[in-house]
Structure 1
């Protein structure tokens, strides 16, 4: 297989620069030096931390921007982790700059209105991450040029030909991107970016067996890293299937009272993951309403788990759609615990649980959902 020499050569030159950016050996912290190009309309920038990859985030520090420059001093950096610089300008079109916090000096340069489109350099994981992004952009540019060439040559003009060409370009882009990601993991198996890349980019695009293989590539020295632990938990949950034990959870209901799933043990329970902002969820909801009306009181209950973050949006959707069953939410969106426990990657999503707490069906919808529930409830 052709190796991604662009990535390797880019990093070989980058590594030679790292010595210029290292902090004194005794330092345990990270210095972030930022430069903003253009007119910055905010007064501050903010340092944002995620609890985990794609998890809940919070602002942990702020810094005045003087002459389009800012500096953060982050002390006692235990392990490299992804953080973000957030713009203080409410009109910023792309207000987040991702970067790695690790021991050393990190240099960030971004456009005042496009924080995401930034350059980051200075430490190993940052150099690797932004070399990867550069190669991804190269792949995307190549695919875009192929599409433009087809237009210039008057090719693929029928709708069917255009559709085939689009699918071919998409497949090419996805395959090349996945190859690049795997090359990165295998080349930098002893850096924190390896488990991060597997979880962040690859987990939804490879089989469970391949995911386990890639996890085995990660150096044992990273077994205790939070990102490796998150990956291990994902792999464990990826084996959540029909026949698995349904994990218990506790969430507040509409009135703020704690509801525990295990309180319904002895009944068939449909756990319905949804959100008011999800169009397919709203289109599916009449089927759940119909199911509840027909099976209510037959040793059957529905528990709606909302992925909303706004309480009013959640409760208004419950009311307007006449969702009269148990409704729970901690307003944490995708970070809510049951989403992780049930390995939910998209909504709407349903988990049907039997009276003993075993999963008997997953992701049922429409008439298939109604038929299955009526079938098993009628047997009781």
Structure 2
């Protein structure tokens, strides 16, 4: 019984730490995935130093603008330094929010979200209601995003 209580306490403390590892850019407000309210959540892990990340962002931004309001949330999780993000987004603005990963172990953080190799870019598409998640390692385009959204949405019906 004591070990179950300890495990539960440990789980909640780890969840609290993970929540503190994301901050809105540029204001630094703490963020977490439950802040995203749409039925489908798209999370893209990227860095300004990652050429495939940089290549996919304009198309992802255009794709997000075309989505029905409230149907999909898209957030870019920057695994990078704040000053690099600021310079990059000044030259390449996006239509979706960017959050900064502020923790100490980005590989473990990404692994917890399905990225088993720790490479960028990495995108997850999740139907929040049923938890069905599609993980995409490598660059994405509008077609891949549409297919993943359709697949996870169908799993919840």
Name the count of aligned residue pairs. Answer: 133
Aligned to 1:360: 133
- Within 5 A, what are the aligned runs for 1:243-254? 249-250=18-19, 251-254=22-25
The structure 2 residue matched to 1:263, chosen from 35, 38, 57, is 35
On the 8 A contact 1:269/1:300 being kept in 2, the answer is yes
Give unpaired runs (5+ residues) of structure 2: 1-14
* Structure 2 SS opposite 1:313: helix
1:375 and 1:330, CA in 2 relative to 1: closer, same or farther beyond 3 A? closer
Q: Is the counterpart of residue 340 in structure 1 residue 115 in structure 2?
A: no
Inter-partner Cα distance in structure 2 for 1:331 and 1:378: 30
Name which of 91, 101, 105 aligns with 1:330.
101
Where in structure 1 are there 5+ consecutive unaligned residues? 1-246
Larger radius of gyration: 1
User: What's the TM-score once normalised by structure 1's chain length?
Assistant: 0.31
> What residue number does 2:89 align with?
318
Q: Name the counterpart of 1:369.
A: 144
Offset of 1:259 from its aligned partner? 0.9
Deviations 1:318-342 (A, max 9, x none): 3322223121113457536631312
Aligned partners of 2:131, 2:153: CA distance in 1, in Å? 18
Cα-Cα RMSD: 3.0
| CA deviation vs aligned residue, 1:275-321 (integer Å, no higher than 9, x gap) | 0000111111122112111115141110111110x211112223322
Post-superposition CA distance 1:334-356 (Å, at most 9, x none):
53663131242211010001131
Decide whether the 8 Å contact of 2:60 with 2:142 is kept in 1: no
Q: TM-score, normalised by structure 2?
A: 0.69
CA pair 336-329 structure 1, distance change in 2 beyond 3 A = farther
